[in-house]
Structure 1
Amino acid sequence: MNEAEAQAVVEGLKVNTKLIFLSLSANPIAAVTIADLLRVNKTIQNLFLQENQIGDADAVAIADALKVNTTLNDLDLKVNQIGDAGAVAIADALKLNMTLKKLRLDENQIGDAGAVAIADALKLNTTLARLLLVENQIGKAGAQAIAEALTVNTTVTELRLDKNQIGDAGAQAIAEALKVNTTLTELRLHQTQIGDVGAQAIAEALKVNTTLIDLQLSGNQIGDIGAQAIAEALKGNPTGITVDLNSNCIDRAFVQLVKQAQKTKNRGLYLSNDTQFNPLVFSLLPRLASTEDIQAVLGMLTSGLELENQSQSLPALPTEIAELIMDEAYYWQGVQHAKRMHGDQHYTLTVTVPRSVIGNSIRVKTIQVLREWKLCPDTISDCVFDLTVQDEQGAVRYECLVQPTFVDSNLLQLATIWPANHPILRQMREGWQVRVARSKSNEYVRFEALYVGYV
C-alpha cells in the first residue's frame, strides 16, 4: 500500500476494538503515525514493522508511545536503521513499559552504547522475556553490559546476539552471568567471533547452570580445546541441554571421537565433520582496532618512540605522514560480513556498507573474499570471485573477476581487494552494497565469506 492508504488504515485502527495482530512491514508509513496509534489503541498485541526504514528519530517516537501503551506484547523492528540513539530511547521506554514480552531489533545499527542502555533497562524491567539483537554492531562492551544485567534480571528466557562482534571477552562475561542466572533457557551466539578461551569459560558455566537448554555456538572460531571443555561440561549437566558447535575449527579426528562418545553420553552436542573450517579461515583476516588503539599508535608516530634497550628513539613524524601510514596499515576498525555455509541456498553473498555508530562517514579499506573447498574444483575458472559493487540506488558501479591472492593446499583461497588496484573502494559509502556470486562448483564448497573492512 502507498503512504496515504497506510495512513488511512492506521486512522481506522485508532477506534478498532478487535484487531490484535498488525503487520505494516515494508510500508511507507510515518513512525509518528504508528506512535499515535499505540497511544490510543487498546487491543493490538503484536506489531510488525520490519523493513520500514525506521531511523533513530522514528524509534524515539515509537519509544515515547511505548511508555504509555499497556497492551502491546510483541514488537518487531527488524531490518531498519535504528542506531544507538534510537536504542537508548527504546531502553528508556522499557524501564516504564510492563507489558512488552518480545522485542526484536535484528539487523539494525545498534552499537555498544545502545546495548549498554538496553542492559540497564533489563535490570529494571520485569516483563520482557525474549530479546533479539542479531546482526547489529555490538562488541565486547555491549556484551559485558548485557551479561551484568543477566545477573539480576529474572524474566528474560531467550537472548539472541548472533552476528555481533562480542569475541572471547564478551563470551567470558556472559559465562559468568550464566553461573548465577536461573531464567535464561535459550542463548544464541552464532557467528560472534568466540574462540577457545570463550568456549572454555562457557563450559565452566555449564557445569553449574541448570536452566539453559539451547545454546547456539556455531559459526565461531572454537577449536579442539574449547570443544573438549564443552564436551566434558555436558557430562555432568543435568538439564539435557543441546549445544551446536557446527561450523567451527574443530579437528575432524576429534569430531569423530565425540560422535563415538555420543552413543552413550553427550547426546546434546551437535558436531559435523563436513562443517568444520580450516583455522586459517579466521587468522588470515586483519585485526580489529579500537579508536583508542588507533589514537595510541598515531600518538607514538607523531611524538617519537623510544626503542627498548637503546639510547636512540624513532623520530617524531609529521601528522600528515603518520596519518598516511595509518591509512595504509593492515587493520580494520569495523567490519561487515556475510557467510555462506555448505548447503545454504543463498546464491549471492551481500554486504551493505553501514552507517557509522558515531555519526561520521565510513571509509572502506579493503574487501576480502574467502572460500574453503571440500574438494578441489574441476577447473581453474571456478576459483575466481565474481564481484559486483552497487550504489545506494542499486545501480551497478563496478564489476570484476578477482583471482585468489592466497592459496593453501588448493582448498583455502583468499582474495584481497585494495583501493590502489580498485579505486571504486574510495567512493563507497553508507548504503552501497558488495555482492559475490556463488562458485560454479558450489557443491564442492564448504564455506564462503565476504568481508568489507572499514575505518
Structure 2
Amino acid sequence: MLPGSIQITGESLSGAEIKDICDSLKENSVRLLSVRGCQLSDRDFGRVCRGVAESHSLAQLNLNLGVVSSIGRTKQLADALRANRSIQTLFLHGSPLLDAGLVALNTALSTHPSLVSLDLGDCMLGDEAVRLICGMLPPDGAKSGLRELTLSANPAISTNGWARLAVAVAHSSQLRVLNLDYNPLGDQIAGMLAVAVASSRSLEVLDLEGTGLTNQSAQIFLDMVENYPTCLRVLVLAENAISPELQQQISDLLSEGEEEDDKDGEAHGNAQSSREKIAWVPHSNSNTQVVLVTSGLGDSLLAETEL
C-alpha cells in the first residue's frame, strides 16, 4: 500500500487520535502529516515527535500555526529531526520560535539528509536566526542545501540580517525559491536582493509581496532582467507602490527569457534539464497575482493543501 496523508486543521486532538497518528507513522503508512493549528498536550506532542523519528515514509510535516508553541517542544522536534531521514518539506509557519528556537533546531535542520524545503514564516526570527539559516544555503561546491526557503513576516530581522542573507543567496548552489513577503524590506534591501539574484545560478522564484518597495526597486529589477542573464522566472511584486507599467515590463522580459530557454533546451535535446525540472518542485502558499507565472515548476506533490 502506498503511503497516504493525514491532514487535520484547527482541531483539539484526543489521545486516541494521537495514537492513530503515531501508529501510522511507525507503520510507515504516512507520506504527509499536517496538524496545522491543532491543539495537543505536551505529552502528545512528544508522542508525535517519537513517531516522526521512527518514520521512514514521511516526506512532508506541517506544524504551522503555533503547534510548536514552546522551547521544550522545539527541542523535542529537533530530536525527532535528528533521527528522521525522510522528511523533505517542513512547515513551521506561525510558530513562536524566536532565535533561541533556531539555535535548538539548527543542527537537526542543517544536517538533515533529505530536507529541501523549509517554511519559517512568521516565526519571530531575528539576525541570529538568519545567520544560522545562511548555513543551510551552502555555496557552490559545498554540500547540498535548501531549494526552497520561506521567511515571510519576520519583521525583527535587521538590514544587516537581510544583507547577510542576500550574500548567502548569491552564492547558494541549490536555492530555487525564496519567499520574503510581508517583511519591511524597502528599496535598500531590494537592491541587495537584485544583486543576489543576478549572481545566483539557481534562483527561479522571488516573492517580495508587501515589502515596502517603490518604482526605484522595480527599475533595478527591470535593468537586471533586461541587461544580464538570470535564472529568475517568477517575481512577485504585488502590494507594493510599483506602477503597473513597470511590473508589465518586467513580466514581459522574464517571459521572453523563459521562452528562449525552452527553445534552447529543445534545440540541444536537453534531457538533463528536463529531468532536473521534474525531480523537485516547490510548494506555493500564495493566492496573489504574480508578475509572471511561467516558472515551469508546477505544483508539488508535497505542497501544503490547507490554506
What TM-score comes out, normalization by structure 1 length? 0.49
Identity between Structure 1 and Structure 2 (%): 21
Aligned equivalent of 2:253, options 251, 265, 274: 265
1:164 aligns with 2:154: yes
Counterpart secondary structure, 1:149: coil
Which residue number corresponds to residue 65 of structure 1? 51
- Write the distance in 2 (CA, Å) between the matches of 1:263 and 1:32: 47
Which residue number corresponds to residue 330 of structure 1? none
Q: In the TM superposition, what is the alpha-carbon distance from 1:163 to its structure 2 partner? A: 1.6
Q: In the TM superposition, what is the alpha-carbon distance from 1:193 to its structure 2 partner? A: 1.6
1:20 aligns with 2:8: no
Distance 1:262 1:23, change over 3 A: closer
Q: Assess if the C-alpha contact under 8 Å between 2:209 and 2:240 holds in 1.
A: yes
- Write the distance in 1 (CA, Å) between the matches of 2:188 and 2:250: 24
* One-letter amino acid of the counterpart of residue 247, structure 1: E
- Write the distance in 2 (CA, Å) between the matches of 1:234 and 1:54: 48
- Write the distance in 2 (CA, Å) between the matches of 1:18 and 1:265: 43
1:241 aligns with 2:244: no
Which of the two has higher C-alpha Rg? Answer: 1
Q: In the TM superposition, what is the alpha-carbon distance from 1:78 to its structure 2 partner? A: 1.8
Higher helix share: 2
Q: Give the 5 Å matches for 1:105-120.
A: 105-120=92-107
How far does the alpha carbon of each residue in 1:209-250 deviate from its partner, in whole angstroms, 9 at most, with x for none?
011111001101223443333333323133242211222244
Q: Assess if the C-alpha contact under 8 Å between 2:127 and 2:161 holds in 1.
A: yes
Q: Assess if the C-alpha contact under 8 Å between 1:47 and 1:72 holds in 2.
A: yes
1:49 aligns with 2:35: yes
Q: Assess if the C-alpha contact under 8 Å between 2:205 and 2:232 holds in 1.
A: no
Q: Assess if the C-alpha contact under 8 Å between 1:126 and 1:155 holds in 2.
A: no
* One-letter amino acid of the counterpart of residue 197, structure 1: Q
Q: Give the 5 Å matches for 1:119-268.
A: 119-151=106-138, 154-165=144-155, 166-235=157-226, 236-250=228-242, 252=243, 256=245, 258-259=246-247, 261-262=249-250, 265=253, 267=255
Which residue number corresponds to residue 268 of structure 2? none
- Write the distance in 2 (CA, Å) between the matches of 1:51 and 1:40: 23
Distance 1:262 1:51, change over 3 A: closer
Q: In the TM superposition, what is the alpha-carbon distance from 1:190 to its structure 2 partner? A: 0.5
Distance 1:111 1:57, change over 3 A: farther
Distance 1:268 1:249, change over 3 A: farther
Counterpart secondary structure, 2:102: helix
* One-letter amino acid of the counterpart of residue 71, structure 1: S
The Cα RMSD (Å) is 3.1
Higher strand share: 1
Q: Assess if the C-alpha contact under 8 Å between 1:123 and 1:153 holds in 2.
A: no
* One-letter amino acid of the counterpart of residue 140, structure 1: D
- Write the distance in 2 (CA, Å) between the matches of 1:19 and 1:71: 7
How far does the alpha carbon of each residue in 1:395-419 deviate from its partner, in whole angstroms, 9 at most, with x for none?
xxxxxxxxxxxxxxxxxxxxxxxxx
- Write the distance in 1 (CA, Å) between the matches of 2:153 and 2:256: 23
Which residue number corresponds to residue 14 of structure 2? 29
Q: Give the 5 Å matches for 1:240-319.
A: 240-250=232-242, 252=243, 256=245, 258-259=246-247, 261-262=249-250, 265=253, 267=255
Which residue number corresponds to residue 269 of structure 2? none
- Write the distance in 2 (CA, Å) between the matches of 1:123 and 1:129: 10
1:96 aligns with 2:88: no
Counterpart secondary structure, 2:135: helix
Q: Assess if the C-alpha contact under 8 Å between 1:20 and 1:43 holds in 2.
A: yes
Q: In the TM superposition, what is the alpha-carbon distance from 1:115 to its structure 2 partner? A: 2.4
* One-letter amino acid of the counterpart of residue 237, structure 2: L
- Write the distance in 1 (CA, Å) between the matches of 2:251 and 2:68: 47
What TM-score comes out, normalization by structure 2 length? 0.70
Structure 1 gap segments, 5+ residues each: 1-16, 270-340, 343-455
Q: In the TM superposition, what is the alpha-carbon distance from 1:125 to its structure 2 partner? A: 1.2
Counterpart secondary structure, 1:154: coil
Q: In the TM superposition, what is the alpha-carbon distance from 1:205 to its structure 2 partner? A: 0.9
- Write the distance in 2 (CA, Å) between the matches of 1:155 and 1:206: 17
- Write the distance in 1 (CA, Å) between the matches of 2:248 and 2:38: 49
Q: Assess if the C-alpha contact under 8 Å between 1:55 and 1:86 holds in 2.
A: no
- Write the distance in 1 (CA, Å) between the matches of 2:89 and 2:233: 23
Q: Assess if the C-alpha contact under 8 Å between 1:215 and 1:242 holds in 2.
A: yes
Q: In the TM superposition, what is the alpha-carbon distance from 1:173 to its structure 2 partner? A: 1.8
Which residue number corresponds to residue 312 of structure 1? none
- Write the distance in 2 (CA, Å) between the matches of 1:223 and 1:238: 22
Q: In the TM superposition, what is the alpha-carbon distance from 1:170 to its structure 2 partner? A: 2.9
* One-letter amino acid of the counterpart of residue 152, structure 2: D
